[in-house]
Every structure is written in structure tokens, then in C-alpha cells.
Amino acid sequence: MPLRKPLIESMFLTLTVLAVAAVLETTGAPRAVASLLLVFVLPGRAFLAAWFPHRLADAPGSFLLTMLLSIAATVIGGLLLNLLPQGLQPQTWALWLGGITIFNGALGLLRSTWNRAPASSGQRLVIQPGHVVMILFAGVIVAGSLLVARNGALNQPRPGFTQLWMLPGETPNSVQIGVKNEEAESVSYWLVVRQGETPIEAYYEMQVDAGATWTAVVPLPVSAVNAQQPVEAQLYRSNQPDNVYRNVTLWVSKADSK
């Protein structure tokens, strides 16, 4: 049938539009399936149809080239999209992969329409040793790409933070204070414990390594238990002594002091 190839290219174009719409408008399984098609199948298939249509006659080879070209388009897109203000978002991915697929798919549709040749009958699927090697090579590339993407997601830079807490102490008239450093580097802190305007205790140049925890038990004067003000701990970074970095308050009751 002379129109077999144009019909196939039209179906792939329609599938691309549906995949882009699914990524932009849906969630869950439909978006996952559409994303897999846009990452591993549709861009490479459209590129072959536009520029190397004769390669589509070789089923094993065209399958491998489709996957490799699609992965290449995804990698190039990641590098380009990362330079944009919008960054790597589902919308930008869909527009990039969908755009290049629709462009090449439309070109492939035009070429198949201009070159209307009857499809050959009786074509057999022949897998040669070279195809097996290419399949294994493609599998390694896909596995490596998934591993790199997973590690990249897990190792994304995150802002550092410091935890500060204060609890009633195990001994009467005391509180326990803790500082945990999650800043990814060693930090020097100042810590001031006060009640209202009355200072109770102060610690200066506390050097806490990354991931380490510093704790101290602060004895409270008897007047602190009877006062109508909470005990307050203020944490400063030594290089910013004028700015309170973390702050926590604790009301100490007579029950806690017994």
C-alpha cells in the first residue's frame, strides 16, 4: 500500500503530541509512560524517519539507533535546559523533546509522502551478532544513564542548616542544650543563655565539626524557676556576632526543677 509509510509517520506524530500533553497535564502512570516514550523512543525514531529513513527497514538496528539517538537528545537537552532560567522542569523537558520530535517527525512525514514506495513483503527479522553486541552496549548506556540520573538527584546541593534545642535537664534547676551542625563544614558558634535581660551562661568559640553535635547542661539559678519569663538560648555564628542565627525558648516549671 503506497500510503503505509505516511500513515505510520502520522501515527508517530500523533503519539508525540499525546505524550507531550500527558507530561504537561497529567500525573502518575500516564505521565510516567509518556516520559519514557519521550526519553527513549520518539525523538530517535523521528530523527531516523527524517534523515535516515532507509535505516528503519532494519528492525534490530533501527531499534538500537532509536534508543541511542533519543538518549543523546535527552543528554543534549539537559545541558541546554540547565542554562535557561527555568532550568530542568517537566514543562521544559516536554517542550524540548516534543519540539525536536515533532520537527523531525513532520519532516519524515513529508519525505514519506514524496517517496511513496510500496512496502516490501516477506521481510524477515534477521538478528546478526553485531546486533547483539549493540543491544548489550545500549543496555549498558541506559543503565549508566539511569544510575547517573539517580546519583545526580540524590546528590543535589542543599542549603546547610543548624539545629538548636533546649530541654529540661535531668538534674533539678537545669536545662539541656544541644547544637547539631548540618552546614557541611566546621562552624564556630557563640551561645548565650538568658532569662529576659538576665544572662545565665555563655559559650564562645564553640567549634562544631560538620555532622557533629554539641551538648551542655546549664544550671539555672533558683530565681529562674520562680520567674515569669522563659529561659532563652540564642545561637550566633562567630563570624556574624550581631545576628541571632538560631533561637529557642523554654518555660521552666517548678515540676521540672524537682
For 35-92, the pLDDT digits (tens) are 899 999 999 999 888 888 888 877 666 888 888 888 888 888 888 888 888 778 888 8
Q: What backbone phi and psi angles, to 5 degrees, belong to 14?
A: -65, -40
Number of domains in the chain: 2
Query: In terms of domains, do 67 and 176 share one?
Result: no
Q: Does residue 10 share a domain with residue 59? A: yes
pLDDT score at 86: 78
Contact in structure between 108 and 49 (CB atoms under 8 Å): yes
- Domain containing 250 equals 161-257
Whether residue 111 is found in the same domain as residue 130: yes
Over residues 241-248, mean pLDDT = 93
Does residue 254 contact residue 227 with C-beta atoms inside 8 Å? no
**Do 110 and 197 reside in the same domain of the chain?**
no
User: Do 108 and 227 have their domain in common?
Assistant: no
Tell me the C-alpha distance between 40 and 29, whole Å.
16
pLDDT-based confidence at 134, cuts 50/70/90?
A: low
Given a cut of 90, whether residue 115 has pLDDT beyond it is: no
> If you compute the radius of gyration of the chain from its CA atoms, what whole number of angstroms results?
32
Q: Identify the pLDDT of residue 3.
A: 47
Global pTM reads 0.48
Instruction: Write the CB contacts of 57 (distance below 8 Å, at least 6 apart in sequence).
Output: 120, 123
Query: How many CB atoms neighbour CB 191 within 10 A?
Result: 20
Q: Clarify whether residues 95 and 14 are in a common domain.
A: yes
Q: Indicate whether 131 pLDDT > 60.
A: no
Q: Which of 134, 154, 174 is the last residue of a domain?
A: 154
Based on the fold, state whether residues 17 and 140 are members of the same structural domain: yes
Average pLDDT over residues 162-166: 94
Distance CA 169, CA 164 (A): 15
Q: Is the pLDDT of residue 10 over 50?
A: yes
Q: Cα–Cα distance between 240 and 187 in angstroms, integer?
A: 11
Asked whether residue 254 carries a pLDDT value surpassing 70, the answer given is no
Same domain membership, residue 236 and residue 167: yes
Of residues 140 and 214, more confidently modeled: 214
Indicate which CATH number applies to the domain containing 202.
2.60.40.10
Q: Can you tell me the distance from the alpha carbon of 106 to that of 99, in angstroms, rounded to the nearest whole number?
A: 11
Cα separation, 57 vs 69, in Å, equals 17
Give dist(CA 227, CA 230) in Å, integer.
8
pLDDT at 120 over 50: no
Residues 188 and 143 in one domain: no
Residues 17 and 109 in one domain: yes
Query: Are 46 and 99 contained in the same domain?
Result: yes
Mean pLDDT of the chain: 81
Tell me the per-residue pLDDT of 174-227, one tens digit each, with 9 for 90 and over. 899 999 999 989 999 999 999 888 889 999 889 999 999 999 999 988 777 677
Please indicate, yes or no, whether residues 134 and 167 belong to a single structural domain of this protein. Answer: no
List the single range of 116-120, 171-175, 208-212 with lowest mean pLDDT.
Answer: 116-120
